[in-house]
Each structure stands twice: as C-alpha cells, then as structure tokens.
Amino acid sequence: MLTKEKILDEAEIVLRKFGPRKTTVVDVARALNVSHGTVYRHFVTKAALHEAITIRWLDRVTSPLTVITHKDVTAKVRLREWFEVLTEIKRSLLVSDPEMFESYLSLAKTMPEHVKSKHIDHLLKQVEFILNVGVKNREFDIEDCTVTARCLFFGTIRYHHPLHASEWQIESIKEEFSQLFSLLEKAIYKC
C-alpha cells in the first residue's frame, strides 16, 4: 500500500537526483511505479509535495534541538548549546546534503507564510522554554521571555537562515557567532 511516507521517501531520492526545479510529480510517480494520479491523491500539487518534503526534512534536522531544550543542565548551558547546534546543523547540511539544502533554500523562498511561521514558532517556543527555566532558576534576568527568545533567534539569523548560507563558509564564522552570542548572553545573565 502506498502511503504518504513512502511517497516522501521516494520524492527525497528523486529530488536529490534532479534538484527542486526539475523534480516533477511524474518523476516521483515513475520512481514508485505508480501513476501520477496516485501521487496526486496524497499531494494535490507539486508545491504541496515539496512543502511536505521540506517540513519533514526540517523536523528531522532540528530534532536534536528538542533534546537540548529538555537536557538536564543549566539553562545557560542549554541556551548556548541550542544555538550552537542550530547553526552547526545548518552549516553541516549545506556541506553533507547539498541537494536537499538547495531544495530547502529554494522552498524557503517560496514557502507559504503559514509553514514558515509554524517552523519558526516551534523553534522560538524551545528558546522561550529554556529562558523561562533560566528565569525560574535565577540564572537569567529577563522581563519577557517571549520577546527575548525572538531577539536572540532573529539576532543570530545570519548564522542559521538559509539565505545567509553563502556566508557560512567564511573561516571566521564560528568565532564571529561565539563573540556575538557571548555579548547576547551578558545582556540576560543575572548579576
């Protein structure tokens, strides 16, 4: 029986082979030995298929962040590790899975706003959770954890947003991130 998951598995393979611009629903159907109508029963358009691939890929690659969010260490350690891992995930995918990263970049540019918002909101909630733990444990001095989470996330966007990927190969990028994050940490640490 053909499931959405099987279609997405095969679509990722086809996407890596042909790239996001050239991959069609017909290509995916052909790889699955089914008619394109069968694929369309699960995904109404090519855009819907690409969106589902991207969401699944994003969920998979950002899953380590969920583990860090609930790690049994101080909030200070969690917060820095969360952002370091986020930036490292994105940089390593650029190198290790360039076809999917290209797809992600291409789709990030055209992805519906509700999909982008859902993904970003999920990440922001994790940062907010860590900040709340830090406030509760008297590690951070923050009035509004929601606002601070957004400031930290968007303040470091150069290091994790795919539109800045061309800058991630700069030799000093990790050092620049560390310097920026140290400055941001000082703004929220309890004196």
Q: Which residue segment(s) compose the domain that 125 sits in?
A: 58-188
Whether the pLDDT of residue 191 is over 70: the answer is: no
Q: Are 112 and 45 in contact (CB under 8 A)?
A: no
First-to-last alpha carbon distance for the chain, in angstroms, is 60
Main-chain phi, psi angles of 141, to 5 degrees: -115, 90
Flag whether 162 is in a domain.
yes
Average pLDDT, stretch 80-100? 88
Whether the pLDDT of residue 97 is over 90: the answer is: no
* 98-110 helix and 4-18 helix, angle to the nearest 10 degrees: 100
Q: Are 145 and 128 in contact (CB under 8 A)?
A: yes
Flag whether 68 is in a domain.
yes
Flag whether 50 is in a domain.
no
Flag whether 121 is in a domain.
yes
What's the pLDDT tens digit per position in 21-33? 788 899 999 999 9
Flag whether 152 is in a domain.
yes
Cα separations in angstroms, 160 against 66, 85, 94, 163: 16, 10, 11, 9
For residue 28, the domain's CATH number is 1.10.10.60
Total number of domains in the chain: 2
Q: What is the pLDDT of residue 72?
A: 96
**Alpha carbons 175 and 140: distance in angstroms, whole number:** 24
User: Does residue 74 share a domain with residue 98?
Assistant: yes
pLDDT tier, 56 (very low <50, low <70, confident <90, very high otherwise) = confident
pLDDT tier, 104 (very low <50, low <70, confident <90, very high otherwise) = confident
User: Does residue 88 share a domain with residue 12?
Assistant: no
